[in-house]
């Protein structure tokens, strides 16, 4: 399974990061989104990331030009069909992902491998909606993609050994480390991480501590680089809520009940950094706790 060309669906914070690391590793990248504006923002983000590396003297101007030269953008989903590998990185909603795969199927080449960057949704179920469950896998990158070294590989029940081996090799080419997870709700990282964030929200909800004290306690008392509420804002509180719902529905255990305060913040549109407000208000020069 020789993989040279890659299609990425979704130009948000995950999609543009995935595009950057593939282009830097020498792959021909076609980045897709429903919005030309989003594609423009993605290229601007990638350019800023590369400029920071130049400032740190870990990248040259020629290397930057070569990386950007390997990334093309399109709003035409069908044009991704003949790529060797396609990575879906759209919103963490199963209905959206299945619709994307349905729209893509008529244009797919016979040997194209399909993957999803989902952080929690069943790979077996997503694969079953396509014509190639043997060539379908979970390919879960961590955020921020250019910085984080882990990629979770999740096999669906029908994923072939050849597909798994091909993607594991790709992870090595990207200079990252693969961790294999069984296809259970939220896989490994988010099975552990998101309930911790949810528990921190419960601690806030129940008045155990305020935002600042909870985050300081985990940073200074558990040596976490970022407090759980700050991390929730960074991930996106809507994404955290979606993953908690997947855990609750998939495992039928009340310990995965989303905190009502988390639900309230998402209902208010206070979904974290990307919205300007979450457990912190980011609209000023310095983030200020909202509770």
- 152 annotated active-site: yes
Residues 157 and 211 both lie in one domain:
no
Residues 36-57, mean pLDDT to the nearest whole number = 96
pLDDT value of position 69: 97
Residue where one domain finishes, among candidates 181, 199, 230? 181
pLDDT value of position 2: 86
Q: Which of 16, 116, 120, 190 is catalytic?
A: 190
Residue 290 in any domain: the answer is no
pLDDT value of position 92: 86
Residue 132 in any domain: the answer is yes
Residue 126 in any domain: the answer is yes
Percent of the chain whose predicted confidence (pLDDT) is above 90:
97
Residues 17 and 64 both lie in one domain:
yes
pLDDT in tens, 64-121: 999 999 999 999 999 999 999 999 999 888 999 999 999 999 999 999 999 999 998 9
* pLDDT exceeds 80 at position 1: no
CA dihedral 237, 174, 148, 68 (to 10 degrees): -70
Residues 171 and 228 both lie in one domain:
no
Residues 221 and 145 both lie in one domain:
no
pLDDT value of position 35: 93
Q: Tell me how crowded residue 102 is: count the other CB atoms within 10 A of its CB.
A: 11
Distance of CA 126 to the CA centre of its chain: 16
Residues 57-69, mean pLDDT to the nearest whole number = 96
pLDDT value of position 47: 97
2 or 162, greater pLDDT: 162
Residue 288 in any domain: the answer is no
92 or 8, greater pLDDT: 8
pLDDT value of position 109: 93
Q: Which of 49, 120, 140, 181 is catalytic?
A: 140
Residue 291 in any domain: the answer is no
Asked if residue 100 lies in contact with residue 129, where contact means CB atoms within 8 angstroms, the answer is no
Residues 120 and 222 both lie in one domain:
no
Residues 17 and 147 both lie in one domain:
yes
Residues 157 and 13 both lie in one domain:
yes
Asked if residue 124 lies in contact with residue 159, where contact means CB atoms within 8 angstroms, the answer is no
Asked if residue 231 lies in contact with residue 280, where contact means CB atoms within 8 angstroms, the answer is no
Closest CA to 134 of 160, 170, 101: 160
pLDDT value of position 170: 97
Strand order from edge to edge, sheet including 136-141: 71-74, 28-32, 5-9, 85-88, 113-116, 136-141, 150-155, 177-181
Residues 57 and 31 both lie in one domain:
yes
CATH number for position 80:
3.40.50.720
Residue 289 in any domain: the answer is no
What domain range is 224 assigned to? 190-283
CATH number for position 200:
1.10.1040.10
Residue pointed to by tokens 């976490």: 224
Residue 114 in any domain: the answer is yes
**Rounded mean pLDDT of the chain?**
96
Residues 155-181, mean pLDDT to the nearest whole number = 97
Residue where one domain finishes, among candidates 160, 181, 202? 181
Cα(93)–Cα(68) distance, integer angstroms: 30
3-state secondary structure the chain: CCCCEEEEECCCHHHHHHHHHHHHCCCEEEEECCCHHHHHHHHHHHHHHHHHHHHCCCCCHHHHHHHHHCEEEECCHHHHCCCCEEEECCCCCHHHHHHHHHHHHHHCCCCCEEEECCCCCCHHHHHHCCCCHHHEEEEEECCCCCCCCEEEEEECCCCCHHHHHHHHHHHHHCCCEEEEECCCCCCCHHHHHHHHHHHHHHHHHCCCCCHHHHHHHHHHHCCCCCCHHHHHHHHCHHHHHHHHHHHHHHHCCHHHCCCHHHHHHHHHCCCEHHHCECCEECCCCCCEECC
For 192, the token pair is: 């552990």
Q: Tell me how crowded residue 168 is: count the other CB atoms within 10 A of its CB.
A: 14
pTM listed for this prediction: 0.89
- 140 annotated active-site: yes
Residues 80 and 9 both lie in one domain:
yes
pLDDT in tens, 213-270: 999 999 999 999 999 999 999 999 999 999 999 999 999 999 999 999 999 999 999 9
Nearest-5° Cα angle at 81, 97 to 149: 60
Residue 198 in any domain: the answer is yes
Domain count of the fold of the chain? 2
Residues 123 and 217 both lie in one domain:
no
Residues 57 and 173 both lie in one domain:
yes
Q: Which of 119, 120, 122, 198 is catalytic?
A: 119
Residue where one domain finishes, among candidates 138, 155, 181? 181
Residues 55 and 111 both lie in one domain:
yes
């Amino acid at each position: 399974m020789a993989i040279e060309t890659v299609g990425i669906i979704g130009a948000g914070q995950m999609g543009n990061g995935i595009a950057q690391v593939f282009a830097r590793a020498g792959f021909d990248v076609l980045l897709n989104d429903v919005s030309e504006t989003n594609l423009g923002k993605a290229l601007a983000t990638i350019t800023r990331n590369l400029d920071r590396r130049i400032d740190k003297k870990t990248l040259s101007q020629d290397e930057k030009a070569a990386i950007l030269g390997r990334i093309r953008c399109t709003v035409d989903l069908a044009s991704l069909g003949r790529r060797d590998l396609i990575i879906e990185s759209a919103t963490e909603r199963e209905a959206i992902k299945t619709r994307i795969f349905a729209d893509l199927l008529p244009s797919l080449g016979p040997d194209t491998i399909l993957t999803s960057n989902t952080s929690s949704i069943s790979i077996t179920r997503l694969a079953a909606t396509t014509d190639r469950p043997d060539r379908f896998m979970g390919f879960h990158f961590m955020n921020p993609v250019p910085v984080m070294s882990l990629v979770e590989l999740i096999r669906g029940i029908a994923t072939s050994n050849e597909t798994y081996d091909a993607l594991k090799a790709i992870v090595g080419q990207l200079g990252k480390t693969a961790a294999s997870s069984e296809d259970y709700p939220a896989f490994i990282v988010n099975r552990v991480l998101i309930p911790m964030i949810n528990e921190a929200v419960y601690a806030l909800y129940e008045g155990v501590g305020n935002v600042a004290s909870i985050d300081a306690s985990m940073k200074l008392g558990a040596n976490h680089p970022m407090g759980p509420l700050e991390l929730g804002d960074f991930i996106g509180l809507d994404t955290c809520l979606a993953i908690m719902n997947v855990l609750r529905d998939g495992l039928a255990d009340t310990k995965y009940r989303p905190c009502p305060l988390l639900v309230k913040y998402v209902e208010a549109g206070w979904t974290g950094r990307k919205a300007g407000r979450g457990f912190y208000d980011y609209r000023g020069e310095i983030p200020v706790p909202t509770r």
